C-alpha cells in the first residue's frame, strides 16, 4: 500500500501516522519529494482500513498495490485450481456443461429433462428446489420435496446435481447435493458463505447483481478462508441501465478473472440475458472468452414453466447448441469430458 502525504503536513501529524502504521505490524519505506511525502507500507496490509487512512487530513491519496484477496489470488497460486465434481472436472483445459430447469416442478419433468440434457452432453443437472423470487407470491420452489426429486433424477441418470442453498438452516438437507449454488442475491451473505466454507463440497458462487469483480473475489475468499477451496465462479450478468435484456452479461470479467484468480469460471447465459434466443450466441461468446463451462436453463415445456420459461431452451435447442460449442472448443484448447 502506498500513502501520499501532503508536503505541508505538521511533523507531529506525520509522527502520529507513522506510529499508528507501525503499531499494525507494518514497516514503512519513506521518501520525501518536492511536493509530497510517499510512504510505502511493507507487510500484510489486508487488514488495513484504506478508507480510514484516506479520511485523514494529511493524506493526499492512498493506493493498494496488493489485492486484498490472498487465497483466491493467482499471484500466490499460479496453477489453475481443478474442482472435481464426481469425476467431472472444472478448470485447466476441461469444459463442463451444467443444464436443467430453473426449478424442479415434478418427477416426470426433472427426470425427463435430466435424461435429455445428459444425452446431449451435459454432465451435471441443475434445478432449483429453493427459489429466490422477487415476489413472495411467486412460486417459491418445492423445497425439501424438490431436493428429493433431484436425488431421484441423480439416481436415475447418474448425473451429479447442482442446486441453490438459500439459508444456513437448510444446510443439513444438502448433504447429497454435489454442487451447492450460492445465488446472486446471496453473494454477500457472509454468514452463509462462511457456513459453506466449512463444508467439503464444491460451491458455485454466482456474481451479485451489482457487485464488482473484487467484491466477488472477496466473497470467494470468505468461503476459502474457512477451509473450502472448491469454489467455481459464475458470471450471470449484472444490472445496468439496459432494460432490453434481464441483465448485462459481463464477458470481459472472464479473461480478467483468469489473470486475477486460479479458480474456475463458468457463465450462465440464461439469467444474464433472460431471452432464450440470446442464449446461443452468448454461450458461444463465453466459450470464446475462455469460460470453463456453462450453466444453462433447459425446459421440456417452456411456455408452462413455473419459473423462467422465457429464457429456457427446449431440449432440442440445447442439443443443437452443444454441437456448436463442440466446434469451438478445440480453438480455445478445451475438452468436454
Sole window of 24-32, 92-100, 137-145, 183-191 interacting with ligand PEP (rule: CB under 6 A): 183-191
Is residue 268 a contact point for Mn ion (CB under 5 A)?
no
Is residue 183 a contact point for ligand PEP (CB under 6 A)?
yes
Is residue 128 a contact point for ligand PEP (CB under 6 A)?
yes
Sole window of 4-12, 82-90, 109-117, 179-187 interacting with ligand PEP (rule: CB under 6 A): 179-187
Residues 260-279 that bind ligand PEP (CB under 6 A): 268, 271
Residues 139-178 that bind ligand PEP (CB under 6 A): 164
Q: How far is the CB of 238 from ligand PEP (least distance, A)?
A: 10
Secondary structure string (H, E, C) spanning the chain: CEEEEECCCCHHHHHHHHHHHHHCCCEEEEEECCCEEEEEEECCCCCCCHHHHHCCCCEEEEECCCCCCCCCEHHHCCCCCCEEECCEEECCCEEEEEEECCECCCHHHHHHHHHHHHHHCCCEEECECCCCCCCCCCCCCCCHHHHHHHHHHHHHHCCCEEEECCCHHHHHHHCCCCEEEECHHHCCCHHHHHHHHCCCCCEEEECCCCCCHHHHHHHHHHHHCCCCCCEEEEECCECCCCCCCCCECCCCHHHHHHHHECCCEEECHHHHHCCHHHHHHHHHHHHHHCCCEEEEEECCCHHHCCCCHHHCECHHHHHHHHHHHHHHHHHHCCEEC
Q: Binder to ligand PEP among 184, 196, 306, 313 (CB under 6 A)? A: 184
Q: Binder to ligand PEP among 5, 48, 53, 102 (CB under 6 A)? A: 102
Is residue 308 a contact point for Mn ion (CB under 5 A)?
yes
Pick from ligand PEP, Mn ion, none: which does 88 bind, CB < 5 to 8 A by kind? Answer: none
- Paired strand residues for 27: 42
Q: How far is the CB of 179 from Mn ion (least distance, A)?
A: 16
Query: Residue count at the site for ligand PEP (CB under 6 A)?
Result: 11
Whichever of 229 and 268 has its CB closer to ligand PEP, that residue is 268
User: Dihedrals φ, ψ of 233, to 5°?
Assistant: -90, 145
Q: How far is the CB of 55 from ligand PEP (least distance, A)?
A: 35
- Which class for 60: exposed (0-12), middle (13-18), buried (19 or more C-beta within 10 A)? middle
Q: How far is the CB of 58 from ligand PEP (least distance, A)?
A: 44
Q: How far is the CB of 185 from ligand PEP (least distance, A)?
A: 6
Q: How far is the CB of 164 from ligand PEP (least distance, A)?
A: 6
Is residue 104 a contact point for ligand PEP (CB under 6 A)?
no
Q: How far is the CB of 268 from Mn ion (least distance, A)?
A: 9
User: Residue 283: which residues within 8 A CB-CB, separation 6 or more?
Assistant: 267, 269, 294, 296, 321, 325
Sole window of 168-176, 182-190, 193-201, 282-290 interacting with ligand PEP (rule: CB under 6 A): 182-190
Q: How far is the CB of 298 from Mn ion (least distance, A)?
A: 11
Pick from Mn ion, ligand PEP, none: which does 132 bind, CB < 5 to 8 A by kind? Answer: ligand PEP
Q: Which of 270, 278, 266, 257 lies closest to 307 in space, CA to CA?
A: 270
Is residue 299 a contact point for ligand PEP (CB under 6 A)?
no
Is residue 102 a contact point for Mn ion (CB under 5 A)?
yes
The answer to whether the CB of 290 falls within 8 A of the CB of 301 is no
In the complex, the residues that contact Mn ion under the rule CB under 5 A are 102, 308
In the complex, the residues that contact ligand PEP under the rule CB under 6 A are 102, 128, 132, 164, 183-185, 206, 236, 268, 271
Amino acid at each position: 500500500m502506498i500513502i501520499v502525504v501532503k508536503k505541508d503536513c505538521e511533523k507531529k501529524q506525520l509522527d502520529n501516522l507513522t506510529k499508528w502504521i507501525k503499531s499494525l505490524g507494518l514497516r514503512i519505506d519513506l521518501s520525501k519529494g518536492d511536493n509530497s511525502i510517499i510512504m510505502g507500507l511493507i507487510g500484510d496490509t489486508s487488514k488495513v482500513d484504506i478508507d480510514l487512512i484516506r479520511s485523514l487530513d494529511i493524506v493526499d491519496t492512498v493506493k493498494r498495490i496488493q489485492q486484498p484477496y490472498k487465497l483466491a489470488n493467482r499471484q500466490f497460486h499460479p496453477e489453475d485450481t481443478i474442482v472435481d465434481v464426481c469425476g467431472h472436472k472444472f478448470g485447466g483445459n476441461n469444459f463442463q456443461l451444467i443444464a436443467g430447469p430453473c426449478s424442479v416442478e415434478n418427477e416426470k419433468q426433472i427426470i425427463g429433462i435430466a435424461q435429455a440434457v445428459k444425452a446431449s452432453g451435459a454432465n451435471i443437472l441443475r434445478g432449483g428446489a429453493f427459489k429466490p423470487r422477487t415476489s413472495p407470491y411467486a412460486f417459491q420452489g418445492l423445497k425439501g420435496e424438490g431436493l428429493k426429486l433431484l436425488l431421484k433424477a441423480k439416481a436415475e441418470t447418474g448425473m451429479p446435481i447442482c442446486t441453490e442453498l438459500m439459508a444456513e438452516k437448510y444446510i443439513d438437507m444438502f448433504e447429497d447435493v454435489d454442487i451447492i449454488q450460492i445465488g446472486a442475491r446471496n453473494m454477500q451473505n457472509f454468514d452463509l458463505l462462511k457456513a459453506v466454507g466449512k463444508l467439503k463440497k464444491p460451491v458455485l458462487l454466482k456474481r451479485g447483481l451489482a457487485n464488482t469483480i473484487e467484491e466477488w473475489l472477496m466473497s470467494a475468499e470468505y468461503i476459502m478462508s474457512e477451509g473450502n477451496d472448491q469454489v467455481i465462479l459464475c458470471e450471470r450478468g449484472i444490472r445496468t441501465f439496459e432494460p432490453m435484456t434481464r441483465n448485462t452479461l459481463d464477458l470481459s470479467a472472464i479473461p480478467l478473472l483468469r489473470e486475477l484468480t486460479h479458480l474456475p469460471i463458468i457463465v450462465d447465459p440464461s439469467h444474464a440475458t433472460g431471452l432464450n434466443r440470446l442464449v446461443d450466441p452468448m454461450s458461444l461468446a463465453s466459450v470464446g472468452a475462455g469460460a470453463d463451462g456453462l450453466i444453462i436453463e433447459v425446459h421440456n415445456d417452456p411456455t408452462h414453466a413455473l419459473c423462467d420459461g422465457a429464457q429456457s431452451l427446449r431440449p432440442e435447442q440445447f442439443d443443437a447448441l452443444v454441437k456448436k460449442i463442440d466446434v469451438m472448443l478445440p480453438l480455445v484448447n478445451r475438452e468436454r469430458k
